[in-house]
Chain A
Amino acid sequence: MLDLSPQQDELRELQGHLTILKVGLLLVVALLAIRLWHLQVREGQYYRDLSENNRTRSVILEPARGLIYDRNGVLLANNVPSFNLYVTLEDVTDREALIKRLVGLIGLDEASLRKRLSERGAKLLARKLKGGLTLREAALIESHRLDLPGVMVQAESQRNYPARLTASHLLGYVGEVSADQLEKPEFGGLHQGSVVGQYGVEHTYDRFLRGRAGQKVIEADALGHEKRTVEVQKPEAGDDLYLTIDLRLQKLAEDLLGGEAGAIVAVDPATGEVLALASRPAFDPNVLSRELTPKQWEDIVQDEGHPLTNRATQGQYPPGSTFKIVMAAAALETNTIDPATTIRCFGSYQFGRRLYKDWKAGGHGTMDVSQAIVDSCDVFFYTIGQRMGIEAIASYATQFGLGRETGIELPSERVGIVPSPAWKEKARSEPWLPGETISASIGQGYVTVTPLQMTSLIATVGNNGVSFRPRLIRAVMERTTGRLQELPAVARGQLAIRPETLALIQHALAGVVTEGTARRAKSSLVTIAGKTGTAQAVAARPGPEEDLPKKLRDHAWFISYAPTVTPRIAVGVLVEHMGHGGSAAAPLAKQLIETFIKLAPHEPLIADSPSPARSPMTVMARQEPRD
């Protein structure tokens, strides 16, 4: 050695460590050799048999989808047995003959059958040709087994919604995962033919409901039919969901809408739990969860009533006079007016060369803000809107949750529009016109909202400014562990509005029902507070309301909560083209509220006037004794 420097010493030491690598790799290679000896020599014959017969086929075992219940444990969605038709391409000797036989036997659509057979995929993995065979079809296939090499019928489960049209928008429906969806990470672990939620809660909570597919490897006979099971990996059922919905209220809400298009939403103001979320017209999720023919699908999509639209979360309507709640709060908070400020209403408001009319031809006389809410005086709000300006209005509307998502767990929630000069510049590339501020002041013009947003808004007002994210899921029952996991309420925040202002508005809203525009919602069971609205469906009207064709008539709004102190339910009603909120919407809310109270009469229901604000802490801590 030339040099025994410390460097060299260290090199020697370091090279000594190489033994670790040497021994480690020797050890692991030896273990590999043992494993391979086991596979090839000890079990070699077994694998040789499998490979020589060349007859292992693989069948995916679909998991049972999680069940959905309402808040009281009433079943909303389950699975029923169904026969599905599969084919393993490897065993198909004559594809044309197979197509001909299947078309002849059970009347499959030839074009879609051809498409399915030519899709890419493993040849040894059975692929689904058709779901939901009738018993007769299944028997026909079974009796022609010998003519149908590679074809088999599997008994699997089909999604079923016992309540049919009830809560259809909320529950949604299921369908086969699409090729586009399979590309996305949230659908990882799925395969062609997997059934996933395509709408509603079925879609949003698919990751819970879905479960996990298993697989069965079978040894097939010469015709590709099962001879023996080689390996089974059992499927795991999905988790069950308990919704916040009370099916009784949901049904009632839907019945109240009857044949009219519209939406009714009921929430618990203290938790954000949605008690009912009705939208009409509805669809039958049982039909949509089966395989539809293109014709059937087209009929549903092109239906003029748009049954697939969830009007509660996706319908965007002008709020009409219900918007006056936001206006009153904004005016009081910006000190544009004080509670004693009065404005005289002669039935119209002149701005520039245009005359803005009040709904009451002769006018309301002299009004303060409270009275203006009770009687829904348009002129009062035209005036304060003009004084405040659109920016202040937009800022408060946003604070009240308009123009943004409520965050409910349903797909494609719409947010409506809170108009402002910036919005108009962006959306229309036009400057804001002063007259548009006046229209916006009574919830017309560009302002649009969803019924859920307005229900959430009135719930927040009733709950002294504390707002919760509306939510649909109370608890998830984990199938694998058997644990019932309760989901907590999610606070959204507290309105930055003085308690006096809220108290004044609450008082006025109670007055709307006792002596104002919503007298038809007055109940002997419980005190109700609310606000009516009548939203113009079209800006220009050719003649008096009564002569208009129905699709041009006004939408009726009523948003409310009850009892007036410590409210336990907030209800928003929107009925399309039914005219005045006071006559067409308010009575529906009253019925729903009364039914709710009768179902759970636990707390004091009649109060004289709104009490001073409760602290947000007690609001959040409040438990629910009613189930």
Chain B
Amino acid sequence: MIDRVISSRAPDNFEWRYVAIIGAILSLGLLSIYSVTHAQPGSGVPLYARQMLWVVMGGAAFLVMLVFDYHKIARLSYLFYVVALVLLAVVLVIGKTSRGAQRWFPIGPFAFQPAEFAKVVLILVLASYYASSPREGWRQRVVLPGLIMAPGLLLILKQPDLGSGLSFLAIYVSMLLVVGVRSKALGVLLLLALMLFPFAWEVMWGALHDYQRERILTFVNPAYDPGGKGYHALQSRIAIGSGELLGKGLYGGTQSQLKFLPEGHTDFVFAVFAEEWGFLGVLLLLGLFLGLIMLSIEIASRAKDILGALLAAGVIAMIGFSMVINIGMTAGIFPIVGIPLPLMSYGGSAIVTTMAALGLLLNVKRRRLTLFY
């Protein structure tokens, strides 16, 4: 094979930009977490310090995923997927419960969420499947990969973790779209459903009776609390809105500093950021995310084989979807489903797996040119 080795060459300009954007988003996240939690009295290691540890571990994961040839990694994908399914099943039995859902394993002081791991493994397994399949007919394009995804999705929804479940679906649908659906109508429909989901949701959701919504929400999330949640949503909106154009300055976010905003370091970290950095900061952050996505799409469209292109597409879908849904929910245009903001929200499992996924993406890029050497 020609595509062996090579990674010893120095990173090029493109790669530096890629790493710089990731670093910038991580830094903004750390700053925001520091801002909300530094004054919090608490025992043990402060949250921002822990998050730094996660970032370091994420960096290691990034390098690991970069060093090995992605073809080798992909060859193990089915094994990884079986491991992920076992972990998802086991977490239902012995996992820790937080707010009504069984999501994580305690490993010493750390909490490991198998659902985060499973997302990256799903990308690997679907990409390997499509790369080795003839991809003929809707059965091989739609049904079989759907069946591969289904057990993972069901186990995640059983926890129940609506956010990760939606991410799972988004990864599947996006990769399916990139592979191409023969029926144009279906393709367009899937695309619209995925991209406009947050906005369409508002319309469909608005048409339901309150009690119907209540039943749905209580069904998917037993910890749903109308009093508490309406409160959170409003406080989040106040935090974002009160940032105005220029923001209140670092550590100046009164909403978040005064603990009006719950979960300021995790799911609502964007609200903290928006309050302190204002609309200009928000544009900067959206720009960084968009930059990351565009560079990633660049990698995908120059990948030398189908496996690489699909791996890249899956990672883009995962990160893009989480970002859109998270910001949408903090800005009050989407129900609060509990999806972290990639690279910014506090949480070890998410940081490490997201960075591993980005490492995989860069891996695709670094092996791109080998064909021509």
The one of A15, A25, A36, A45 in contact with B282, judged by C-beta atoms closer than 8 angstroms, is: A36
Q: How far is the CA of A2 from the CA of B259 in the complex (A)?
A: 61
- Asked if A191 and B331 make an inter-chain contact with CB atoms under 8 angstroms apart, the answer reads no
CB-CB contacts below 8 Å: A146-199 with B: 183, 185, 188-191
A40-B278 contact, Cβ under 8 Å, with A15-B301, A18-B313: yes
B237 contacts the other chain (CB 8 A): yes
**Chain A residues within an 8 Å CB radius of B303:** 11, 15
The distance from the CB of B128 to the nearest CB of chain A, in whole angstroms, is: 15
**Chain A residues within an 8 Å CB radius of B59:** none
**Chain A residues within an 8 Å CB radius of B289:** 29
Task: Kindly specify which of A120-128, A340-348, A360-368, A469-477 makes contact with the partner chain.
Answer: A120-128
Q: How far is the CA of A236 from the CA of B215 in the complex (A)?
A: 13
- Asked if B228 and A191 make an inter-chain contact with CB atoms under 8 angstroms apart, the answer reads yes
**Chain B residues within an 8 Å CB radius of A231:** 234
- Asked if B231 and A28 make an inter-chain contact with CB atoms under 8 angstroms apart, the answer reads no
The one of B209, B221, B258, B275 in contact with A54, judged by C-beta atoms closer than 8 angstroms, is: B258
The one of B174, B316, B324 in contact with A32, judged by C-beta atoms closer than 8 angstroms, is: B324
- Asked if A28 and B198 make an inter-chain contact with CB atoms under 8 angstroms apart, the answer reads yes
- Asked if A47 and B300 make an inter-chain contact with CB atoms under 8 angstroms apart, the answer reads no
A46 contacts the other chain (CB 8 A): yes
Q: How far is the CA of A39 from the CA of B210 in the complex (A)?
A: 25
B245 contacts the other chain (CB 8 A): yes
**Chain B residues within an 8 Å CB radius of A13:** 180
A215-B195 contact, Cβ under 8 Å, with A40-B241, A48-B241: no
A541 contacts the other chain (CB 8 A): no
CB-CB contacts below 8 Å: B61-97 with A: none
A18-B301 contact, Cβ under 8 Å, with A32-B331, A44-B244, A56-B234: yes
A24 contacts the other chain (CB 8 A): yes
- Asked if B214 and A21 make an inter-chain contact with CB atoms under 8 angstroms apart, the answer reads no
The one of B214, B218, B274, B309 in contact with A40, judged by C-beta atoms closer than 8 angstroms, is: B274
A51-B211 contact, Cβ under 8 Å, with A10-B306, A15-B300: no
Task: Kindly specify which of B46-54, B290-298, B356-364 makes contact with the partner chain.
Answer: B290-298
Q: How far is the CA of A9 from the CA of B224 in the complex (A)?
A: 50
Size range of the chain A interface in the assembly: 35 or more
Q: How far is the CA of A52 from the CA of B254 in the complex (A)?
A: 8
Q: How far is the CA of A233 from the CA of B217 in the complex (A)?
A: 17
Per DSSP, are chain B's interface residues mostly helix, strand or loop, or mixed? helix
- What 0/1 readout, one digit per residue, does chain B (215-231) give for beta carbons within 8 Å of chain A? 00110011111111011
CB-CB contacts below 8 Å: A31-51 with B: 31-33, 35-37, 39-41, 43-48, 50-51
- Asked if A36 and B240 make an inter-chain contact with CB atoms under 8 angstroms apart, the answer reads yes
The one of A21, A41, A46 in contact with B320, judged by C-beta atoms closer than 8 angstroms, is: A21
A267 contacts the other chain (CB 8 A): no
* Residue of B with least CB distance to A124: B260
The distance from the CB of B173 to the nearest CB of chain A, in whole angstroms, is: 11
**Chain B residues within an 8 Å CB radius of A313:** none
The one of A20, A27, A58, A217 in contact with B177, judged by C-beta atoms closer than 8 angstroms, is: A20
**Chain A residues within an 8 Å CB radius of B226:** 189, 191, 212-215, 233
Q: How far is the CA of A35 from the CA of B290 in the complex (A)?
A: 16
- Asked if A188 and B331 make an inter-chain contact with CB atoms under 8 angstroms apart, the answer reads no
- Asked if A215 and B244 make an inter-chain contact with CB atoms under 8 angstroms apart, the answer reads no
- What 0/1 readout, one digit per residue, does chain B (275-294) give for beta carbons within 8 Å of chain A? 10011001100100110011
**Chain B residues within an 8 Å CB radius of A10:** 135, 306
- Asked if B240 and A18 make an inter-chain contact with CB atoms under 8 angstroms apart, the answer reads no
- What 0/1 readout, one digit per residue, does chain A (207-222) give for beta carbons within 8 Å of chain B? 0000011110100000
- Asked if B290 and A46 make an inter-chain contact with CB atoms under 8 angstroms apart, the answer reads no
- Asked if A40 and B240 make an inter-chain contact with CB atoms under 8 angstroms apart, the answer reads yes
- What 0/1 readout, one digit per residue, does chain A (102-136) give for beta carbons within 8 Å of chain B? 00000000000000000000111100000000000
**Chain A residues within an 8 Å CB radius of B258:** 54
* Residue of B with least CB distance to A49: B242
A26 contacts the other chain (CB 8 A): yes
A480 contacts the other chain (CB 8 A): yes
Q: How far is the CA of A25 from the CA of B198 in the complex (A)?
A: 12
**Chain A residues within an 8 Å CB radius of B227:** 58, 60, 125, 191, 213, 215
**Chain B residues within an 8 Å CB radius of A17:** 177-180
- Asked if A191 and B225 make an inter-chain contact with CB atoms under 8 angstroms apart, the answer reads yes
B174, B199, B231 pick with most chain A CB within 10 angstroms? B231
Size range of the chain B interface in the assembly: 35 or more
**Chain A residues within an 8 Å CB radius of B225:** 188-191
Q: How far is the CA of A48 from the CA of B241 in the complex (A)?
A: 7
- Asked if A24 and B191 make an inter-chain contact with CB atoms under 8 angstroms apart, the answer reads yes
**Chain B residues within an 8 Å CB radius of A11:** 303-306, 309
- Asked if A14 and B179 make an inter-chain contact with CB atoms under 8 angstroms apart, the answer reads yes
A51, A189, A480 pick with most chain B CB within 10 angstroms? A51
Q: How far is the CA of A188 from the CA of B226 in the complex (A)?
A: 9
**Chain A residues within an 8 Å CB radius of B218:** 185, 188-189
- Asked if A122 and B240 make an inter-chain contact with CB atoms under 8 angstroms apart, the answer reads no
- Asked if A51 and B306 make an inter-chain contact with CB atoms under 8 angstroms apart, the answer reads no
The one of B198, B231, B310, B313 in contact with A125, judged by C-beta atoms closer than 8 angstroms, is: B231
B148 contacts the other chain (CB 8 A): no
Q: How far is the CA of A354 from the CA of B195 in the complex (A)?
A: 85
Q: How far is the CA of A25 from the CA of B240 in the complex (A)?
A: 22
B250 contacts the other chain (CB 8 A): no
B100 contacts the other chain (CB 8 A): yes
Q: How far is the CA of A122 from the CA of B303 in the complex (A)?
A: 51
**Chain B residues within an 8 Å CB radius of A21:** 174, 177-178, 297, 313, 316-317, 320
The one of B174, B198, B222, B241 in contact with A44, judged by C-beta atoms closer than 8 angstroms, is: B241
The one of A36, A185, A190 in contact with B100, judged by C-beta atoms closer than 8 angstroms, is: A185
The distance from the CB of B44 to the nearest CB of chain A, in whole angstroms, is: 20
B239 contacts the other chain (CB 8 A): yes
- Asked if A189 and B214 make an inter-chain contact with CB atoms under 8 angstroms apart, the answer reads yes
A7 contacts the other chain (CB 8 A): yes
B243 contacts the other chain (CB 8 A): yes
- Asked if A18 and B300 make an inter-chain contact with CB atoms under 8 angstroms apart, the answer reads yes
Q: How far is the CA of A62 from the CA of B267 in the complex (A)?
A: 29
B327 contacts the other chain (CB 8 A): yes
B328 contacts the other chain (CB 8 A): yes
The distance from the CB of B62 to the nearest CB of chain A, in whole angstroms, is: 22
- Asked if B241 and A46 make an inter-chain contact with CB atoms under 8 angstroms apart, the answer reads yes
**Chain B residues within an 8 Å CB radius of A125:** 227-228, 231
B150 contacts the other chain (CB 8 A): no
- What 0/1 readout, one digit per residue, does chain A (611-624) give for beta carbons within 8 Å of chain B? 00000000000000
* Residue of B with least CB distance to A185: B222
B255 contacts the other chain (CB 8 A): yes
A40-B228 contact, Cβ under 8 Å, with A18-B300, A21-B313: no
The distance from the CB of B295 to the nearest CB of chain A, in whole angstroms, is: 12
- What 0/1 readout, one digit per residue, does chain A (472-512) give for beta carbons within 8 Å of chain B? 00000000100000000000000000000000000000000
Contacts A47-B240, A124-B260 supplied; 19 other A-B pairs, CB < 8 Å: A14-B180, A20-B191, A21-B297, A21-B316, A21-B320, A24-B194, A25-B290, A29-B290, A36-B327, A39-B332, A40-B240, A40-B274, A44-B241, A48-B241, A58-B227, A122-B231, A188-B221, A191-B226, A214-B226
What are 28 A-B pairs at a CB distance below 8 A?
Answer: A2-B372, A7-B305, A15-B302, A21-B177, A22-B297, A25-B290, A25-B316, A32-B286, A32-B324, A36-B274, A40-B240, A40-B241, A40-B244, A40-B278, A51-B238, A51-B260, A122-B228, A188-B218, A188-B225, A189-B224, A189-B226, A190-B225, A191-B228, A214-B226, A215-B226, A215-B227, A233-B226, A236-B210
Shortest 3 CB-CB contacts between residues of A and residues of B:
A47-B241, A44-B244, A51-B242
User: Which B residues have a C-beta under 8 Å from some C-beta of A?
Assistant: 100, 135, 174, 177-180, 187, 191, 194-196, 198-199, 209-211, 214, 217-218, 221-228, 230-231, 234-235, 237-245, 254-255, 258-260, 262, 274-275, 278-279, 282-283, 286, 289-290, 293-294, 297, 300-306, 309-310, 313, 316-317, 320, 324, 327-328, 331-333, 371-372
User: Which A residues have a C-beta under 8 Å from some C-beta of B?
Assistant: 2, 7, 10-11, 13-15, 17-18, 20-22, 24-29, 31-33, 35-37, 39-41, 43-48, 50-52, 54, 56, 58, 60, 122-125, 183, 185, 188-191, 212-215, 217, 231, 233, 236, 480
